Amino acid sequence: MVRDHTQRALAQRLAVEQSERRLPSIASGLVRSGRLVWFGGAGEVSGAPPTDETQYRCGSISKTFIAVEVMRLRDEGRFTLVDPISSHLPEVVRPEATISQLLSHTSGIRAETSGPWWERTPGIPFDALVSGSLRPEDVVSPPGRRFHYSNVGYAILGELIARTRRRPWDDVIAEELLGPLGMLRTTTRPIESFAHGLGVHPHADVVMAEPEHDAVSMAPAGQLWSTVDDLSRWSALLSGHHPELLAPGTLDEMREPMALNDTPDLPWTLAHGLGLQVLNRDGTRSFGHLGSMPGHLAVLRVDARSGDAVIVLTNATSGLSVDLDQDLLHILHRHEPQPPETWRPTPGGVDSATLEILGAWYWGTSTFVLSVGRGGDLELHALATGREASFRRSGAHTYVGLSGYYHGETLSVVRRADGSVSHLDIGSFVLTRSAYDPSAGVPGGVDPEGWKGSPPQTETGARHLLQRHWRRPT
C-alpha cells in the first residue's frame, strides 16, 4: 500500500475532481506489480462513499475483454487475423473487413447503428443489426483505409466469439477470463451495490437518472459493469502478469499502435492497437481504454514504462477531467518512484561468440553500440540515427530483430576464412568495427585514398570510386 503522505495527496486530487467537476461519485485505484495499492472514493452512492466493490458501467473498456478473447481464439488456431469476417459470419458481407481491421477500428464500418441511439434504447438481435446497419450505405470508407471508431465492429466481434465457442459471448468471458482472475463483480447487468447512472445539468446542481438496459447485439461494445477491485485484476493481465491467460507475445501485438486517431496539424496523442487504445502524452506511452455510457465514464490505463495502472470510475454522463488519470499516476511516481532493478551478473555468463561482437560498430559514419540486455537479447544503441533495436538469437551466427527499424530483419555475423569477425550485416546494411573499414566489404567500396583533410577533387575521390564500381551497360 502507498504511504500516508501519498494517500493524502491522491485523496486530495480525487476530492477536488469530485467537487469542481460536479460528479455524483467517483472511485479510483492505482495498481503496481499487479496489486491494488491505493483506492480512493469521493461523493456518495446510495448515501455512502463508494468502495472498491461498488459497481460502475465500464463502457468501452468492455471492448478490451472482447479483444483479449478474440486474440486467445487466434492463438488456438481457430482463425487468423487476416481472415475476412464473412468467412466466419457469412451474413456480414459488407464491407470485406478482416478480423484485424475490426479490432483496430479500420474496418470502414459505421460508428453507430442506423437506428435510435443504441446506448439509450432497447437492444436488437444480431440479424436485425446486420440488416439495418451493415448495408452498402453503412460503409464509410474502404477497409484498411483509415481509423474510424466503430461500436458496430465490436458487436460483430462479440458474435464471432459466440459462434466460435458456441455459447453467448458473456458466458465465454465469464468462464475463461473473469473466473480465473477472480473478477466476481464484473457482469453485463448491475448487481448491488452499484452506482446509478446520472446526468448532471450543465447549468444547475440537479441530476437526472439515465436509462439502463440490455443492448443485446451491441452489448459487446460497452455493456459490462465492474469495480475498481475487479479492474485492478484486469489491469494486471493487460500489464503482463497473467501469461497463462494471454501469451506475452500476443499482448505485445495488442499494444502496438496500428491506426492513428489523427487530428490535422497536431501531433498524435491517441492510436489504436488490437483492441487497446495507445495514448501518447509528452512522449510517454500508456495503453488501455476509455469508457463512456449514459450516466457513466470510465478509464483504465497502464503506463507502458512502469507497468503501473490507474482506474477511474464515475456515475456521470460527462464532466470527468481528461488529465485526472495522468495526475494520479504522476502523484504516485513523484512520491513513490519504483526502485530500480538490482544489478546482478548474468546467470551462466555470456558465451564467447556473443562477447566477441559487443561494443562499438559503425554504419558508414554513424556510431552504434551493441550490448547484451538483462533479458539476454542483444541491444543495438544508435548514438545519432535513432535506429535503436533489440535482437534475439535465431541461428549459430544470426539474430532476428524484435523492435524498432530492424523489427523482423536478420542480423548476420559475417566471419573471415580464419573465423574472425569481419562485419555485421543487418538487412544489407553493413556495420564495421571502424568507419568505412576497407577490409570489411562495404557496399560500393571504400575510396582507396582514404580519409583526407579536404574534399575530393573533380576526377578523384568519390567520383573516381563511382566510376570504378559502375560501368554503363554495353
Measured in whole angstroms, how far is the alpha carbon of residue 6 from the centre of its chain? 28
Measured in whole angstroms, how far is the alpha carbon of residue 17 from the centre of its chain? 27
Backbone angles phi, psi at 172, to 5 degrees: -65, -50
User: Residue 188 in contact with residue 223, Cβ under 8 Å?
Assistant: yes
Q: What percent of the chain has pLDDT over 90?
A: 82
Say which residue, 452 or 57, is predicted with more confidence: 57
CA distances from 23 to 16, 18, 43, 198, 390 (A): 10, 5, 7, 9, 46
- Calpha distance 371→366 (Å, rounded): 17
Say which residue, 175 or 375, is predicted with more confidence: 175
Kindly calculate the radius of gyration of the chain based on its CA atoms and give it in whole angstroms. Answer: 27
Angle at 232 between CA 228 and CA 238, to 5 degrees: 135
- pLDDT tens track for 322-366: 999 999 999 999 999 998 888 889 888 899 999 999 999 999 999
pLDDT computed for residue 276 by the predictor = 98
Above 80 in pLDDT, residue 3? yes
Mean pLDDT of 424-428: 93
- Calpha distance 191→422 (Å, rounded): 68
Above 80 in pLDDT, residue 7? yes
CB atoms within 10 A of CB 384: 9
Least reliable range by pLDDT among 63-77, 384-398, 411-425 = 384-398
Kindly state the DSSP code that residue 234 receives in the 8-state scheme: H
When pLDDT is cut at 50, 70 and 90, the band that residue 462 belongs to is very low
- pLDDT tens track for 199-209: 999 999 999 99
Mean pLDDT of 384-390: 80
- pLDDT tens track for 107-133: 999 999 998 999 999 999 999 999 999
Please tell me the pTM assigned to this model.
Answer: 0.90
Mean pLDDT of 213-225: 97
pLDDT computed for residue 291 by the predictor = 98
When pLDDT is cut at 50, 70 and 90, the band that residue 263 belongs to is confident
Please list, in sequence order, all residues whose beta carbon lies within 8 angstroms of the beta carbon of residue 203, skipping any fewer than 6 positions away.
none
Q: Give me the amino acid identity at 298.
A: A
pLDDT computed for residue 467 by the predictor = 47
Element (H, E) at 115: none
pLDDT computed for residue 454 by the predictor = 79
User: Residue 271 in contact with residue 278, Cβ under 8 Å?
Assistant: yes
- pLDDT tens track for 62-104: 999 999 999 999 999 999 999 999 999 999 987 789 999 999 9
Grid cell digits, residue 405: 527499424
User: What is the three-class DSSP state of 172?
Assistant: helix
Mean pLDDT of the chain: 93
- pLDDT tens track for 151-190: 999 999 999 999 999 999 999 999 999 999 999 999 999 9
Above 90 in pLDDT, residue 465? no
CB atoms within 10 A of CB 70: 26
Above 80 in pLDDT, residue 460? no
pLDDT computed for residue 469 by the predictor = 45
When pLDDT is cut at 50, 70 and 90, the band that residue 403 belongs to is confident
DSSP characters for 391-442? EEE-SSSEEEE-SGGGTTPEEEEEE-TTS-EEEEEETTEEEBSSTT-TTS--
pLDDT computed for residue 210 by the predictor = 97
Hey, CA dihedral for 417, 419, 423, 429, is it positive or negative?
positive
To the nearest 10°, the Cα dihedral for 20, 23, 24, 29?
-110
Q: Which domains does the chain have, with CATH numbers?
A: 4-335 (3.40.710.10), 352-443 (2.40.128)
Name residue, grid cell 489523427.
Answer: 262
Q: What percent of the chain has pLDDT over 70?
A: 96
